[in-house]
Structure 1
Amino acid sequence: MAGRTELTTLETVQESRSWLFTVRDRYGEAEEAILVPCEDGVEGWINRCMHEPQRLDVGRGVAMRDEEIICPRHGSMYDACSGACDNGEAAGTRLVGVDVSVEDGRVYLTDSIYHFDHEGGLEDGGDGGEDGTEDDGGSEGPSSTSHISF
């Protein structure tokens, strides 16, 4: 199958209950995504509650209960397989999907909109986050020496 990237194993997702990774859209914009176990194998979702721009996985794994993803901020619950929410602040919404497939126990990104950037969240990629500047871990000190704040 052309246009796919191996992400992880089905066993890893099932054991850890989620897997966080970063993708880029066709314009180069980075988005966090998650894999979660589902009765049909694995589903992929953009790592964002639909009620507010709240991350579902804040770096410690996705909170789940009975095959539902729980928003850590408001408690809205999304079906892990369909992405649909029928309760809380996000009721009536659906998570943004990321196309994945499973073959021989391996999970592949097959989405035509997103391409794989790296495992982990935005801050784990070494590009300093969303502004695209390099993060050298602070070895050169602060980027500004000004003591003025607004």
Structure 2
Amino acid sequence: MADATRLTTVDTVTEAGSWLFTVRDAYGEPDEAILVPCDDDVEAWINRCPHEAQRLDVGRGAAIRDGEIICPRHGSTFDSCAGTCDNGEAEGTRLVPVDVTVEDDEIYLTDRAVTFDHEGGIEASEDDDDDVPSSTSHIGF
């Protein structure tokens, strides 16, 4: 498929339950996305609950039950196919979609707003200390 980046296969997503990957926006900023099974197909969503910016897949696969993605923070569930939530803290919100196309069991990233960076999540830099912001102040606490 021209003008598209091959991600993985439908079989891989179906067997694993989800597939995490990193994309970059037009400014080069990274974001995570997940592929999830949807009926006989797959859908892709930004890996973030719209309620509180909680990652849905923290690197061990997204929790999915009965066709719904479960937010690990508050338990809100999102329809895997539509991305909508009708319960819990995230009720009335929708996951941010990422455009993908399936052709002969192969999944391609076709979203023009992002580019594929790599399989897996955003890697924490070695300078990060448990996501605590560093300080440039000379004052110690």
User: TM (normalized to structure 1)?
Assistant: 0.83
Show the counterpart of 1:69. 69
Show the counterpart of 2:130. none
Are 1:21 and 2:21 matched, yes or no? Answer: yes
Show the counterpart of 1:105. 105
Q: Any residues of structure 2 matched to 1:91-102 within 5 Å, and which?
A: 91-102=91-102
Cα 1:149–1:66, aligned 2, differ >3 Å: closer, same or farther? farther
Are 1:123 and 2:123 matched, yes or no? Answer: yes
List structure 1 segments (4+ residues) > 3 angstroms apart after TM superposition: none
The RMSD of aligned alpha carbons is 2.0
SS at match of 1:14: helix
Show the counterpart of 1:8. 8
Show the counterpart of 2:47. 47
**Deviation for aligned residue 1:40:** 4.2
Name the aligned partner's letter for residue 15 of structure 1: E
Percent identity at matched positions? 70
Residue deviations 1:98-146, cap 9 Å, x none? 000111111100001011000000017xxx2xxxxxx49xxxxxx99xx
**Deviation for aligned residue 1:2:** 3.2
Give the paired residue count.
Answer: 134
**Deviation for aligned residue 1:149:** 4.5
Gaps of 5+ in 2: 128-133
Show the counterpart of 2:35. 35
Q: C-alpha separation between the residues in 2 aligned to 1:122 and 1:49?
A: 16
Gaps of 5+ in 1: 129-134, 137-142
